[in-house]
């Protein structure tokens, strides 16, 4: 871990009062740059995201792999916000905090007095960062929603991302949450800059819906001007750079970056199919009228060798063919370690050789390496002692069910 004095957000106090990913991971990024983050969780239950890695539809491992990456570099306390004592402890922490991150549903915040309007009078320098599924206002503002619904389905992304003739597929866990967390982080940092100039805090907010539409901007803006999407949805003829080609070992090759006729010519030569260049159907003048037949020829060719053999041949020829990665390929991708996309943990107790980094890079600015992700309520007594609570008072609050 870097010296605290060198970390940009050293001394910044952050409260993570949320669950799952999009809200809490914004606090994780702040923690990576040195902020002191306290995660507030429900006694006995905690953030349900703690349990995703062990779910029946999750890839099985002996490590709680989701939690070690997204829960890192925080301290966990448990507070029962249904009790007056639990809420008062949270209010005390708010009075001293710089940033309050929440994605609690708006009705829950209203019920417990945790809306921006409730907390702002306690601390006029507080940055209140709100993450919702569908935005702060409107007919669905009160509704809950995960990224698979609000980011993926509602925004048109699900409709647009499908193979020819296929029904849409689902999203993978956290696919929209993680980029949305970066947006919330950017909002927080912008507000901190404003506070530097004005001395005042304020509310920042974003939503899964807004970020999904932002991700779908190229088509979404077309929808805003009444574009006709019939061509996109139509059964278009097969094209080499829009087709997946299977190899003899069951891998898939993608020719997306083979965009010019000359690149396709080089591919045919590298694939030992120069004979196709002499076929009048596939010369550069006639090729566009015979793409389905060319696709069939390429399918019959690619199935004869392994993916490694094909990729070696194409690299040597400078042909930009892409291998469709499997999840098991990622740890050995030669690009990810040199670019610090994954890093070794800074804490030897972290049960992983590599941990995924957030994607923000500022040259010369140190960050905290991945530390132990806390157990539920691991730091409750420690944080309360820092607030001046005696051991007797902590025991009393525990007995009352406030912790």
Asked if 317 and 369 sit in the same domain, the reply is: no
Q: What are phi and psi for residue 37, nearest 5 degrees?
A: -110, 125
Question: Could you tell me which of 18, 183, 193 has the C-alpha nearest to residue 100?
Answer: 18
CA dist 343 and 160 (Å) reads 34
Q: Does residue 294 fall inside a structural domain? A: yes
Asked if 289 and 150 sit in the same domain, the reply is: no
By the 10 Å C-beta count (0-12 exposed, 13-18 middle, 19+ buried), 51 is classed as: middle
Contact (CB, 8 A) for 95 and 87 = no
Question: Could you tell me which of 187, 84, 191, 95 has the C-alpha nearest to residue 132?
Answer: 187
Q: Does residue 155 fall inside a structural domain? A: yes
Asked if 323 and 378 sit in the same domain, the reply is: no
Asked if 57 and 189 sit in the same domain, the reply is: yes
The percent of the chain in helix, strand and coil, each rounded to the nearest 5, is 45, 10, 45
Q: CATH code at 185? A: 3.40.50.10540
CA dist 33 and 285 (Å) reads 56
By the 10 Å C-beta count (0-12 exposed, 13-18 middle, 19+ buried), 323 is classed as: middle
Asked if 268 and 386 sit in the same domain, the reply is: no
According to the model, what pLDDT value does residue 5 have?
Answer: 55
Q: How far is CA 11 from CA 15, 33, 126, 182, in A?
A: 13, 11, 14, 21
Q: CATH code at 253? A: 3.30.1540.10
Asked if 384 and 266 sit in the same domain, the reply is: no
Query: Whole domain around residue 296: which residue ranges?
Result: 240-327
Q: Does residue 223 fall inside a structural domain? A: no
Residue after which a domain boundary falls, among 282, 300, 327? 327
Secondary structure letter of residue 141 according to DSSP: T
CA dist 134 and 119 (Å) reads 22
Beta strand 13-17 with 99-102: parallel, antiparallel or unpaired?
Answer: parallel
| Number of domain units in the chain | 2
Q: Does residue 194 fall inside a structural domain? A: yes
Q: Pick out the chain residues at pLDDT < 70.
A: 1-5
Asked if 153 and 49 sit in the same domain, the reply is: yes
Q: Does residue 264 fall inside a structural domain? A: yes
Asked if 245 and 175 sit in the same domain, the reply is: no
Asked if 349 and 372 sit in the same domain, the reply is: yes
Query: What DSSP line would sit under 9-47, residue for residue?
Result: TTT-EEEEE--SSTTHHHHHHHHHTT-EEEEEE-TTT--
Those residues with Cβ within 8 angstroms of residue 238's Cβ, 6 or more apart along the chain or in another chain: 164, 291, 292, 295
Q: Does residue 247 fall inside a structural domain? A: yes
Asked if 173 and 249 sit in the same domain, the reply is: no
In DSSP terms, which residues pair with 180 in a beta bridge?
none
Query: What DSSP line would sit under 307-365, residue for residue?
Result: HHHHHHHHHHHT---EEPPPGGGGGG-TTTTTTTSEE--SSTTSS-S-EEPPS---TT-
Question: Position of tokens 């972290």?
Answer: 350
Q: Does residue 254 fall inside a structural domain? A: yes
By the 10 Å C-beta count (0-12 exposed, 13-18 middle, 19+ buried), 112 is classed as: middle
According to the model, what pLDDT value does residue 2 have?
Answer: 44
Contact (CB, 8 A) for 253 and 324 = yes
Residue after which a domain boundary falls, among 267, 293, 327? 327
Asked if 345 and 385 sit in the same domain, the reply is: yes
Q: Does residue 225 fall inside a structural domain? A: no
In DSSP terms, which residues pair with 76 in a beta bridge?
39
Residue after which a domain boundary falls, among 327, 349, 371? 327
Asked if 44 and 80 sit in the same domain, the reply is: yes
């Amino acid at each position: 871990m870097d010296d605290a004095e060198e970390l940009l957000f050293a001394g910044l106090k952050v409260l993570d009062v949320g669950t799952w990913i999009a809200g809490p991971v914004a606090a994780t990024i702040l923690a990576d740059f040195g902020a002191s983050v306290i995660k507030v969780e429900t006694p006995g239950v905690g953030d349900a995201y703690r349990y995703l890695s062990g779910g029946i539809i999750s890839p099985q491992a002996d490590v709680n792999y989701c939690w070690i990456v997204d829960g890192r570099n925080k301290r966990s306390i448990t507070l029962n916000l249904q009790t007056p004592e639990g809420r008062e402890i949270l209010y005390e922490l708010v009075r001293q905090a710089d940033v309050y991150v929440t994605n609690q549903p708006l009705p829950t915040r209203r019920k417990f007095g945790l809306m921006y309007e409730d907390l702002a009078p306690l601390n006029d320098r507080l940055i209140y960062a709100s993450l919702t599924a569908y935005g702060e206002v409107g007919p669905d503002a009160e509704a809950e929603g995960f990224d698979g619904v609000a980011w993926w389905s509602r925004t048109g992304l699900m409709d647009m991302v499908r193979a020819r003739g296929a029904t849409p597929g689902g999203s993978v866990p956290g696919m929209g949450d993680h980029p949305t967390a970066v947006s919330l982080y950017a909002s927080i940092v912008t507000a901190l800059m404003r506070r530097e100039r004005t001395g005042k805090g304020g509310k920042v907010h974003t939503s899964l819906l807004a970020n999904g539409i932002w991700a779908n901007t190229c088509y979404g803006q077309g929808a805003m001007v009444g574009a006709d999407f019939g061509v996109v949805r139509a059964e278009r003829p097969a094209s080499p750079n829009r087709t997946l080609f299977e190899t003899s070992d069951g891998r898939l090759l993608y020719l997306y970056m083979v965009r010019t006729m000359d690149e396709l010519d080089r591919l045919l030569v590298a694939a030992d199919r120069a004979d196709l260049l002499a076929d009048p159907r596939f010369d550069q003048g006639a090729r566009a009228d015979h793409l389905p037949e060319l696709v069939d020829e390429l399918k019959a060719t690619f199935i004869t060798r392994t993916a490694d053999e094909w990729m070696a041949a194409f690299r040597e020829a400078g042909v930009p063919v892409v291998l469709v990665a499997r999840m098991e390929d990622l740890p050995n991708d030669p690009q990810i370690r040199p670019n610090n996309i994954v890093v070794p943990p800074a804490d030897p107790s972290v049960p992983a050789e590599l941990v995924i980094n957030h994607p923000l890079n500022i040259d010369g600015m140190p960050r905290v390496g991945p530390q132990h992700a806390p157990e539920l309520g691991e730091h409750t007594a420690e944080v309360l002692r820092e607030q001046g609570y005696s051991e007797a008072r902590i025991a009393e609050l525990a007995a009352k069910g406030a912790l």
